[in-house]
Amino acid sequence: MRLIGLFLVCYLSMVPSGIHAQKISIAKYADNCQAAISFTFDDGLKEQYSILFPKMKELGIKGTFCLIGSRMEFQPKNPEKQTFSWEQAKEMAQDGQEMTSHGYNHKNVTKLTAEELRYEVQHNDTLIYQHTGIFPRTYFYPGNRKSDEAVAFCNKDRVGTRTYQVSLGSKRTQEWFENYLQGVIAKGEWAVTMTHGIRMGYDSFGDETRLWKMFDYALEQARSGKLWIATFHDVAAYQQERDNTTLKIKTRKNQVVVTPKMKLNKTIFQVPLTLVLDFQPVKAMQDGREIPVKYRNEKYLIQIEPSKGRDILLLLRKEQTLGREKNKPLAEKRTNFERKYKILNEKTRKHRIVFVTLYHNRNNNNATKQSKQN
């Protein structure tokens, strides 16, 4: 009688295989979103506190407000240009809204001497820090006018300056905004919008619900995982950190160690980066604390802090220990006739991965098992 031939192809595996081949990378945007948007608001106008801020707080949207120090100290007579107070600016900053500089006197930086530029920028920085407790690390050019010299000066010790923007006000319809945002998402870009008045003043909406509908659409894209809504500071810092951070990856028994190396000023650049994993770790840790692991769009995501420069430890999932129990096949199959088993060596307490290939006897439908020791 011809027997069924059962051939064993075996090899030992001390560490789960394929980790070197697994992809570990930094996401283009936080939470591995396809694109980003920053809603920015110019001049620190009263309506931006009384009408806009409560709605943003309700929706959980964080934006950027650029302030003109001289107008906050000496309120203009024109009600359309009057600003919210320093106390209100501090309240907004404590809620997570970004307060940044628009120049102390809102002067065209291209027409200033070096000393005038220094005062225009630094004095406003000082006022914002004194009244909010947070030093501004971005800068918005008054009138959107700039020169190479001004950009070089204003970028010093900052995460970025606003060099481009799209107006979001009276002339923008809901249809335009939705088409614009879909284009941004398709291209993987960072949208920076600029708004002044809400109900009145320069380029105002007239009816604030027009802006609320745009917020709702952006939030819809964010909930789908396509769009990251964040302050100008956070997106600017993220991009810089992403482009100036390298990952050193080492594999050990049942773990992967990732060491981030960032070539930036760690006291200024402190926005977390998103690490994208093609495999699921049992646990992720950095600096002695556990990092939550999020699953989105078939990827595993963790937030790391490259400014700390400390190792990220990824503990790998341990497969089922079989011991003296029956050797149950794992879910993975290499071919239609091959199954994978994991065997525990009682003496060494180490695992052996065994692949079993079956060949059928045409004259006998029964299967006979043979075992082969390595």
Spans of all domains in the chain: 1-14+321-374, 35-224, 238-316
CA 49 from chain centre, in angstroms, equals 27
Provide the whole-model pTM.
Answer: 0.80
> What pLDDT score does 156 carry?
96
How far apart (Å, rounded) are the C-alpha atoms in residues 256 and 234? 28
> What pLDDT score does 347 carry?
58
> What pLDDT score does 370 carry?
43
Instruction: Provide the CATH topology of domain 238-316.
Output: Immunoglobulin-like (2.60.40)
> What pLDDT score does 3 carry?
40
How far apart (Å, rounded) are the C-alpha atoms in residues 250 and 191? 37
Q: Are 182 and 231 a contacting pair, CB within 8 Å?
A: no
CATH assignment of 35-224, given 1.10.287.70, 3.40.50.2300, 3.20.20.370, 3.20.20.80? Answer: 3.20.20.370
Tokens representing 289 are 């604390």
Which residues lie closer than 8 Å to 13 by C-beta, 6 or more apart? Answer: 351, 352, 353
Q: Are 367 and 345 a contacting pair, CB within 8 Å?
A: no
The helix/strand/coil state of 275 is strand
Tokens representing 314 are 């990824």
Handedness of CA 96, 152, 115, 83 (dihedral sign): negative
Q: What share of the chain is helix, strand, coil (3-state, %, to 5)?
A: 30, 30, 40
How far apart (Å, rounded) are the C-alpha atoms in residues 98 and 209? 23
**Residue among 37, 296, 38, 64 at smallest CA distance from 184:** 37
**Residue among 316, 288, 285 at smallest CA distance from 303:** 285
* N residues, the chain: 374
274 - beta bridge partners?
A: 303
Tokens representing 211 are 């802006």
pLDDT mean for each 10 residues of the chain (374 residues): 36 39 86 98 98 98 98 94 97 98 96 96 98 98 94 96 97 98 98 97 96 98 97 98 95 89 96 94 91 92 91 78 38 45 58 52 44 43
How far apart (Å, rounded) are the C-alpha atoms in residues 259 and 255? 13
